[in-house]
Structure 1
């Protein structure tokens, strides 16, 4: 009888049993030579200026287990690091939970949830998620600060109500017809999310919907003067916690035994917005994520990474890479101030260091 119970238990054990950070990340004890990766990511820092590659954190996870982890002081495993525009993709993930709850559809006009967009009544939530609102916008930071829409939104006349500041811009293109990277579009999405919820619920919603189910406890999300999350830019999170979002996306929105994100939402995030203009070496836009997908007959943006690679990317070198073909999640935090860092160069070295699974 005891043998029968054991056999039944074995038969009921799923062949695809997976590792999860529940609550801590398990560690993979595979022997891997990371010398080439670390030499690229962590060169000796220039102490006279802020030039060169300046990695603060590098975390590499394969199939739910930590393979490699390194930090540069003062950043540690517990540091809630500023993610900059990685915040946009995390906002899209929070919205994916809301969409799965039936709170909106992609074709809904933004004005349904954020009335100041009535002047742009044809702008859909899908358009905002593609950075294709059609609103006139200037995203330059250091290079043209006096003409920059994003600098004004974050730091001067728009900071008290960033969504209202964005909505007041004129239309430059028909919605959905032209890609123009805009932190304003992202903050309109943050305001639309607020309109989907009652006020008290909004305050805790990113935690209730996403962070707490994933076991994320380091997240800090700043708000503008009107109390709306700065969805474009100001989420702080430890590398290990950001990797939880990467694992969720790598596993098609599934967390443990729960489908936290609709698989259709993850598919939307990973579908190229074909009306964007391909730029050599630059990842192409999906649904508020960045894709290693070619557009208009161009080669892969990151030729040494699989075509299915996608990422959340932020100012000064922040990155969350997902490589589904190799079951990889990679977090990089940084303080880069020039153009010397290459996404492809890091991915190439990581992939070269790793044997194929099972070898």
Structure 2
């Protein structure tokens, strides 16, 4: 769908550059509406949140940063959107067929999956609608109103369950012959010249007595997360390389499960769920949100991309004991202060509205 005339004007003045090893700062932030008054409002907002770092990128340069954007910390569920990105190339190459079922892949659990659960496809898992309600091997699922085992036909009912996401990681590794972390290193970290990526920090974690399938946990910095967001905002490109197929970017960021079909409370700013991405609401009055996507992780780990404005936003809430949160010792501290989706988007709004006002 074409962008509106004002947005075309904004994109015409975008540099369309990509950062080298180091990010550069926007040379004239006021041209993007970032005045002293706007900056003050942003800092007041962020000071009132448990945010540890925040980053806004426009045209491939840093428009605004807060906190230590080089700090590496736990991504929580933001990891899921990264897996979606990785799957694009494998699907395009024919290594992954999204119509493969759990039975086709010999996916099972120690106490067995039900026959109906074994009919779930990888596509069902991508939209968190597998119909498999086996206990997941990691925290972070929706633990309320869990349907009974075997009560839902795969693909018919959305329930946010880490079993789906963890099994997708296992299926990716089975079908591609590479670990999720090795694929990330080779396909993204290297080509994107990530500054803070450490292969030794990435690890599988979870409750080994709950499921055969654990979580593939990432530990990244805000400025490296912004490279991922910029790639998606640029239709899968990084420089001259198509690191994520453009068709996959489109397919994985359009609504597959509308908000009104979800069985849980969905924030008012979210229109639905795609292939491991949350999709914001777009109205006739907010064309700048067309094509937008959000990766969201517990406690306040977010990536927001707005292709229509060539902007990317990242929020981090680094944790005091990041490994204890993710490992299988019962230390998942729900009581820790978190940055909500609404909190994050309200800060992003200040920069987005400033950008629009400067057009």
TM over 0.5: yes
The reply to whether residue 77 of structure 1 matches residue 56 of structure 2 is: no
Shift in Å at residue 285 of structure 1? Answer: 0.7
Alignment gaps of 5+ in structure 1: 1-14, 44-52, 138-148, 156-168
| Residues 239-275 of structure 1: CA deviation (Å, up to 9, x unaligned) | 0100010011000111111111111111111111236
Shift in Å at residue 209 of structure 1? Answer: 2.4
Q: Output the CA distance in 1 between the equivalents of 2:103 and 2:243.
A: 27
Name which of 120, 129, 149 aligns with 1:123.
120
Shift in Å at residue 202 of structure 1? Answer: 5.9
Alignment gaps of 5+ in structure 2: 1-12, 140-147, 319-335
Match of 2:79 in 1: 87
Match of 2:202 in 1: 221
| Residues 9-49 of structure 1: CA deviation (Å, up to 9, x unaligned) | xxxxxx99631112221221123221111211222xxxxxx
Change (3 A) 1:338 1:312: closer
Q: Output the CA distance in 2 between the equivalents of 1:27 and 1:229.
A: 39
Change (3 A) 1:250 1:338: closer
Query: 2:52 is paired with a residue of what secondary structure?
Result: strand
Match of 2:6 in 1: none
Name which of 129, 138, 144 aligns with 1:154.
138
8 Å Cα contact 1:272/1:293 also seen in 2: no
Change (3 A) 1:332 1:313: same
Larger Rg: 1
8 Å Cα contact 1:269/1:287 also seen in 2: yes
Match of 2:279 in 1: 291
Query: 1:291 is paired with a residue of what secondary structure?
Result: strand
Change (3 A) 1:20 1:111: farther
Name which of 192, 195, 215 aligns with 1:230.
215
5 Å-filtered alignment, 1:1-359, equals: 18-30=16-28, 31=30, 32-33=34-35, 34-43=39-48, 53-71=49-67, 76-116=68-108, 119=115, 120-136=117-133, 149=135, 153-154=137-138, 170-198=149-177, 204-216=182-194, 217-219=196-198, 220-224=201-205, 230-231=215-216, 234-274=217-257, 276-277=259-260, 279-283=266-270, 284-293=272-281, 306-334=289-317, 337=337, 342-355=343-356, 359=359
Q: How many residue pairs end up in the alignment? A: 297
8 Å Cα contact 2:173/2:180 also seen in 1: yes
Change (3 A) 1:347 1:91: same
8 Å Cα contact 1:97/1:209 also seen in 2: no
After the TM superposition, list the runs of 4 or more consecutive aligned residues in structure 1 that deviate by more than 4 angstroms. 225-229, 302-305, 338-341
Shifted more, 170-179 versus 323-332: the winner is: 170-179
Q: Output the CA distance in 1 between the equivalents of 2:43 and 2:65.
A: 10
TM-score w.r.t. length of structure 2: 0.73
Change (3 A) 1:280 1:70: closer
Q: Output the CA distance in 1 between the equivalents of 2:259 and 2:119.
A: 19
